[in-house]
Structure 1
Amino acid sequence: MPILKRMSAALILTVGAAMPAMADDPATCGTVHLSDPGWTDITATNGVAAVVLSALGYTPDIATLSVPVGYEALKNGQTDVFLGNWMPAQQKFRDDLDATGDIEELVQNLEGAKFTLAVNKAGADAGVADFADLDAQKDAFEGKIYGIEPGAPANQSIQAMIEADEFGLGDWELVESGEQAMLAQVGRNQDAGTPTVFLAWAPHPMNEAIEITYLSGGDKQFGPDFGGATVHTLARKEWAASCPNAAKLFGQLTFDIGMENVLMGKILDDGMGAQNAAKEWIAANPEAVKPWLDGVTTLEGEPAEDALMAAVAE
């Protein structure tokens, strides 16, 4: 090769090596819209997503929306990603979204979850271990089942059970409130020794704070294995196609029960903000985040892992 050609080739290689890989996402992908139904587990995972997105140069925009409104927002293009598709409890909403053809599942982000009715220690001591045991103890339970926010699919399942008089519960009352209000009431009842039946789930630090007995017999309402569930990440197809770098991140962003219990404990018990809890966890578990960032760059095309670890070290 002539000297001039060799020099030119070397110059091209040197310049090319010095230039960062170009990000796949245009500037229009800079803001990522998510929703949070007010559940601490999704608040925690949204916190993780927000920390990673911010470190990579994106701006997370998280709206607090009830489950039905959140699904409508995803369907109507007001949000881009939802980390809280609990299945099979949200099958009805999922079917509605799938029918539009505009939504895709990016990943199953959690397995080993469960979600069904449970009783506190006083309820278990009263002999309640199954849905069918409840009605015989109606007076002790004051005929109340404590649920979460209005419109939640789990509440709908409970209300349908009451209206159908299943297990003799036709004259019971569903008390709807947010997660924190429900757990505060359960805590007060526990301190008073009052039998209480309520929606319970894992992951959640309630499983450490309250002596919980998950009830059998609710397979029809919540699914087998005490409402055994998986959680999925959904995104708008148009967004995922337009923003492949961010979509790749969300397609690799997975969690486990232990991690979420820790994060939720920091939020609920220690009063930490979700993003501060996520930063602390990521800084302490650098190896765990590597799979999330495989093949992902910052919005500017720089290495994602370096940017994230620098951000959580601040």
Structure 2
Amino acid sequence: MKKFRHITAAVALGTVASLALAGCAGGSDNGDNGDSGDNGDLGTITLGYLPSWTDGLSMAYLAQDQLEKLGYTVEMEEMTEAGPLYTGLARGDFDVYPSAWPEVTHAEYMEEYGDDLEDLGAYYDGAVLTLAVPTYMDDINSIEDLKGQADRFDGKITGIEPGAGLTGVTQDSAMPEYGLDGEYELLTSSTAGMLAELDTAYAAEEDIVVTLWRPFWAYNSWEMKDLEDPKGAMGEPETLNFIAHAGTSDEFPEASELFGKIKLDDDQYGALEGLVTSDEYEGDPEAAVDAWIEENGDQFDWLVTE
């Protein structure tokens, strides 16, 4: 499993950064924004993101690259949970969350904080939440097939962070809808913890069911299949969006215009995430973005070049 080491390190770094955030505010309230940056640039813009969700990790570093080429100074705030991230975004601790799931996964946060947020546009269509099993499990193809099979899985569905939208949808919608809440327990820990459990079970070809999502690089590292969801309990496909603190489009018009233009398809996004999370570029996501632009840059009319 060549990518697991990087994501574990990213989650560990995120824990430190999230603690630091409580004591220092960035973004809109730091007095450095506007047209008077120290280096004569467009000001300082702060991105908050969840490194354990590598769509956010990848897009944050692509956004950093593009914003710096426009003339912004970019600061990065790593978080470990969606709840504190949206709280910080709503109160202006940072300016933009570059990979939100606003329609299903993070809908409760959008409803709670919507008056203090603004949507700067979607960069990816077709994101989905799933329950998944390894492809060697030939007889489990639907969430319905899990009913009555709890003993095979030690009575557990292996999940990610307790505050993740995926956790809420699984626990509050899918499990009761399919009658699994009396048989199974959703075990939560972290994305890294879920991947470690998956890696161990996969190596031994043991039965395991995990919470996953697309797009996610795990599908490139293990042969997995999404379980059919005939009742639609995991939610409809949604978009991945740039969600900002309210007023960001007025304060940072050039950045907001850029975010509205960025669009990635499956292959383009998969290449970006694959490079950013690879062993080759471990600890150097900026170099991964540079490599991605070199390989894919001619496909985009929105790309900012130096």
Give 3-state SS (helix, strand or coil) of 1:42's partner: helix
- How many Å separate the matches in 2 of 1:157 and 1:58? 37
Q: Cα distance 1:218–1:146, how it changes in 2: closer, same or farther (>3 A)?
A: farther
Q: What percentage of residue pairs aligned between the two structures are identical?
A: 27
2: distance between equivalents of 1:251 and 1:185? 38
**Aligned residue in 1 for 2:96:** 81
CA spacing shift, 1:145–1:195, aligned 2, 3 Å:
same
Among 198, 206, 214, the alignment partner of 2:210 is 198
Matches within 5 A, 1:295-310: 305=305, 307=306
1:248 aligns to what?
Answer: 257
Distance in 1, Cα, partners of 2:231 & 2:35: 46
| Structure 1 residue aligned with 2:296 | 285
| Match status 1:35 vs 2:48 | yes
The correspondence for 1:110, drawn from 113, 124, 135, is 124
Q: 2:111 aligns with which of 92, 95, 101?
A: 95
Query: Distance between the aligned counterparts of 1:264 and 1:68, measured in 2?
Result: 24
Number of residues of Structure 1 aligned to a counterpart in Structure 2: 265
Amino acid corresponding to residue 130 of structure 1 in structure 2: S
- Judged with a 3 Å threshold, the aligned counterparts in structure 2 of structure 1 residues 44 and 234 are, in CA distance, closer, same or farther, namely same
Counterpart position of 2:17 = none
2:86 to 47, 71, 79: 71
Q: Deviations over 1:217-248 (max 9, x none)?
A: 26443224xxx221111112322202211221
Instruction: Give the partner amino acid of 2:172.
Output: A
Aligned counterparts, 1:266-281, within 5 A: 266-272=275-281, 273-281=284-292
Task: Check conservation: 2:104, 2:235, Cα contact below 8 A.
Answer: yes
Instruction: Give the structure 1 partner of residue 179 of structure 2.
Output: 167
**Larger proportion of helix:** 1
CA contact (8 A) 2:174 2:233 kept: no
Relative to structure 1, is the Cα distance of residues 260 and 63 closer, same or farther in structure 2, using a 3 angstrom cutoff? same
Letter in 2 for 1:246: A
The answer to whether residue 223 in structure 2 is matched with residue 211 in structure 1 is yes
> How far does residue 56 in structure 1 lie from its aligned partner after superposition?
2.9
Change over 3 Å in CA distance of 1:274–1:178 after alignment to 2? farther
Contact 1:162-1:172 within 8 A present in 2 as well:
no
Q: Which has the larger radius of gyration?
A: 1
Contact 1:131 1:216 in 2 (8 A): yes
- Distance across 2 between alignment mates of 1:152 and 1:218: 23
8 A contact 1:116–1:218 mirrored in 2: no
Q: SS where residue 122 of structure 2 aligns? A: strand
- For 1:220 and 1:165, the matched residues in 2 are separated by 9
Letter matched to residue 277 of structure 1: A
The offset of 1:141, in angstroms, is: 0.9
Residues 49, 25 of structure 1: alpha-carbon distance in 2 compared, 3 angstrom cutoff: same
8 Å CA contact retained: 2:132, 2:209: yes
- Give the deviation of 1:189 after TM superposition: 0.5
Among 192, 198, 211, the alignment partner of 1:186 is: 198
For residue 23 of structure 2, what is the aligned residue in structure 1?
none
What is the distance in 2 between the residues matched to 1:233 and 1:171?
Answer: 38
2:157 is aligned with 1:141 = no
**Runs in 1 of length 4+ with deviation above 6 angstroms?**
none
Contact 1:252 1:291 in 2 (8 A): yes
Instruction: Give me the whole-angstrom Cα distance separating, in 1, the residues matched to 2:207 and 2:231.
Output: 23
Matched to 1:281, the amino acid is W
- 1:204–1:260 CA contact under 8 A, matched in 2: no
Q: Is the 8 A contact 2:133 2:225 kept in 1?
A: yes
1:161 Cα deviation from its structure 2 partner: 4.4
Greater alpha carbon shift after TM alignment, 155-164 vs 273-282: 155-164
280-289 vs 108-117, greater mean Cα deviation:
280-289
Q: Is the 8 A contact 1:263 1:278 kept in 2?
A: yes
Alpha-carbon distance in 1 for matches of 2:110, 2:176: 24
Q: Distance in 2 between matches of 1:104 and 1:33?
A: 15
Q: Structure 1, unaligned stretches of length 5 or more?
A: 1-23, 294-304, 308-314
CA drift of 1:216 comes to 1.5
Equivalent residue in structure 1 for 2:71, among 27, 48, 57 = 57
- The unaligned stretches of length 5 or more in structure 2 are 1-32
- CA deviation after TM superposition for structure 1 residue 96, in Å: 1.9
2:247 is aligned to 238
1:31-63 CA deviation, whole Å, 9 max, x = no partner?
211111221111001110111122333222221
